Structure 1
């Protein structure tokens, strides 16, 4: 009896709490969730993005009325794109590469949830930025001669990256823009041969795995010393994880050939003889190399057999970004040359001329190709003068842009956002804007002297 009396107060408390919980539950079920809808996550919040970033996600705390979200979503400055939904997530996919050197605001107000209950969405404002617009080049005058130089349009800065004792031969920026791979000779010891290095740019951008640590510009590290070889040429894999280097042995010609060097450490010979120019494919798994009178597709594996051989073509000029199409040159039997679009289910001749096709690049924003070529003059005054033109792929219409007045072959580099070309003409650097109508544009003299301009990715 005494034991039962002690339990009764506890029973009454438990029953009271249970009753209160039942009432609260009933109220919630009857009245629903009255909290305001809101944006829970924005994948580009305070991020620096580049041409490789193609879409951002907005995640909401509840199912939304998609029509009201799309109606009230604002991006400033405007970015052409398309919207798709997966549950509570909105994906905004860009229709063209994002312009560099800008700040953007994403704003959403007045949208409703799927059931139109309660207040509208909690106002959301997000911000993100795009990478600096800048490029590197090898200087040719004054204290810049033979040195790698970084010119940053966004920050308005100009800086020499490499020391005076290294004479730079070639350079290619890594895809994150934080470093540049370059080949150079020691000015004090030319017999040492060309070696491969990296140098920091002072820039850092977030990656899917995090943001790399900040490093001051101009820090040089050796990737591949000469070690009894002459390092003749290199090409950087698009992912930035390795380089393929053509190496000529100074002591045993049988050891000359192509090597793969991993930037994270390690190297190996590929058992591929030095036969011609080469390029790493966009997937980083294969190599296109000139062999005899054609182009061979070779896997980056020791002693591997060729995957394909293209006897019609003698030169590869460019891949498109997906890696499904390429621009190649055919040397015709009538002494003309043709520019071909190869891939995507066939081959298409874009241009045939009696002259030279010096370079060609895909436009990442529209179905155009930019070409620098030369045309032979009259027989009494044989002189090939180069010109820059755009070719509209659907129609093969040729749009002349710039006629150069001197026969020295120019170089061009297309910006990653597709909005500018860099031109090197007789060692003089120019910027050519590619607006909605490039035909109406004029090159801008940058007042810089150098060679081999390369945009930061």
Structure 2
């Protein structure tokens, strides 16, 4: 039997040898996730096996087509942020190269990156309606079976699924359609993978009287709903990835639809006194109130920025930009009805869809700057806005999406509007509703 000191020395030598091997092992890319960005069209979050030299990544990595970008962060967690103001019209070839802080080289990582959202629509078909997705080549892909009527659609903010409600004889039903998609694919793949839709899953067993849906970028889902047997409204919350489990019931009283903040952890609650900001479960309880008769219109990409519609006693309305720690900034005031709005970054550019109070068919689209000055205006004569369908903004291609009906036609169409000139580009597809599906 070997003496104990010899065994201990052997163990120490083996540990030292393993440590030297690990130190000489090249760094590895452990995680790569595409995400939206508040100060640019898109971003990537990267996690490595050891702290990296950020300057070497910035110098040796590349994007094709070339796009201005910057590397942020430190250590083993870094972020690549696109900073270009040019629209992204195709997928990009991404090569990640660099060295760690010991000077060891990362093997080249080659990816195909496409951060553009996809066009999603409720399409009338024989015997009912169907949720369809436009593929990159322009063809339309059915995602659901034919349903009697689709009343609401809410993509999860992380692109992993779509919540929707359907109307049946006994009432409304709440469903989740799981999706498999990825904005990132290895360049060795023969062709980009198509979006894969799973089977519809019932989120609540009973028929509903109504349901209002909201999601955030994390993929959380908030549903305000009521069933005939209850006689009251309930607010259910499913955390990201937990849609197959029982939801958490939130004890909140609201005077209208609640909205999750895009970045997560909180929600906006309309109350009789005004709009309040509340934390989600797991955070300390908080209630911040903005008094007055206001409605949330839309969120801006920069955290804490939003557009509100204020109702005045003389029946005028105003559009306000809200920023943390500042009083609401009025951007527009008038008697027209505010149908919807959208904004870029922290509200540097704001788009406002208005309908004349006397003539609902007289609709116009305004672009405002932060000072409330009208930069561009587009008259939408000849088109009718599909009721209840909001305007959506795609920062990657810098274009708005509206669902408009040509006057005299029975069906609406998706209409793309590049913000460089606010020209209308109709998509030849009859729809009930059109919206963006976030990339996965």
> How would you bin the TM-score normalised by the shorter chain?
0.7 to 0.9
CA offsets per residue over residues 384-421 of structure 1, 9 Å max, x none? 6221122112x322133421115743542212525222
C-alpha deviation, 1:331, in angstroms: 0.9
Question: Structure 1 residues 129, 282: closer, same or farther in 2, change over 3 A?
Answer: closer
CA offsets per residue over residues 206-255 of structure 1, 9 Å max, x none? 79xxxxx998425211111225x4243222244213322222x41342x4
Partner of 1:317: 297
**Residue 174 in structure 1 maps to residue 156 in structure 2:** yes
Alignment size in residue pairs: 388
Contact 1:64–1:88 (CA under 8 A) maintained in structure 2? no
Partner of 2:418: 434
Cα distance in 1, alignment partners of residues 73 and 269 from structure 2:
44
Query: In the TM superposition, what are the counterparts of 1:201-220 in structure 2 within 5 Å?
Result: 201-204=179-182, 216-217=196-197, 219-220=199-200
Normalising by the residue count of structure 2, what TM-score does the alignment of the two structures yield? Answer: 0.73
Contact 1:363–1:418 (CA under 8 A) maintained in structure 2? no
Q: Show structure 2 runs of 5+ residues with no match.
A: 1-24, 186-192, 406-410
Question: Structure 1 residues 62, 166: closer, same or farther in 2, change over 3 A?
Answer: closer
Contact 1:420–1:434 (CA under 8 A) maintained in structure 2? yes
Cα distance in 1, alignment partners of residues 196 and 46 from structure 2:
33
Cα distance in 1, alignment partners of residues 266 and 49 from structure 2:
42
Contact 2:50–2:75 (CA under 8 A) maintained in structure 1? no
**Residue 106 in structure 1 maps to residue 95 in structure 2:** yes
**Residue 423 in structure 1 maps to residue 430 in structure 2:** no
Cα distance in 2, alignment partners of residues 61 and 288 from structure 1:
39
Cα distance in 1, alignment partners of residues 73 and 115 from structure 2:
28
Cα distance in 2, alignment partners of residues 387 and 199 from structure 1:
35
**2:34 aligns with one of 41, 49, 62:** 49
**2:372 aligns with one of 373, 396, 399:** 396
**2:318 aligns with one of 333, 338, 347:** 338
Higher relative contact order (CA 8 A, sep 6+): 2
Question: Structure 1 residues 146, 372: closer, same or farther in 2, change over 3 A?
Answer: same
Partner of 2:175: 197
CA offsets per residue over residues 131-182 of structure 1, 9 Å max, x none? 4641212123x33842212112x24331222222442111111233242111
**Residue 222 in structure 1 maps to residue 202 in structure 2:** yes
Question: Structure 1 residues 48, 84: closer, same or farther in 2, change over 3 A?
Answer: closer
**Residue 280 in structure 1 maps to residue 268 in structure 2:** no
Contact 2:52–2:74 (CA under 8 A) maintained in structure 1? no
Partner of 1:185: 167
Q: Show structure 1 runs of 5+ residues with no match.
A: 1-37, 116-120, 208-212
SS in 1 for 2:126: helix
Of residues 52-61 and 126-135 in structure 1, the stretch that sits farther from structure 2 once superposed is 52-61
Partner of 1:256: 233
Cα distance in 1, alignment partners of residues 74 and 280 from structure 2:
39
Cα distance in 1, alignment partners of residues 78 and 237 from structure 2:
42
**2:146 aligns with one of 135, 141, 164:** 164
Contact 1:101–1:131 (CA under 8 A) maintained in structure 2? no
The structure having more radius of gyration, on CA atoms, is 1
**Residue 326 in structure 1 maps to residue 306 in structure 2:** yes
Question: Structure 1 residues 61, 308: closer, same or farther in 2, change over 3 A?
Answer: closer
Normalising by the residue count of structure 1, what TM-score does the alignment of the two structures yield? Answer: 0.70
C-alpha deviation, 1:124, in angstroms: 5.4
Contact 1:176–1:204 (CA under 8 A) maintained in structure 2? no
**1:130 aligns with one of 114, 119, 129:** 114
Cα distance in 2, alignment partners of residues 54 and 326 from structure 1:
21
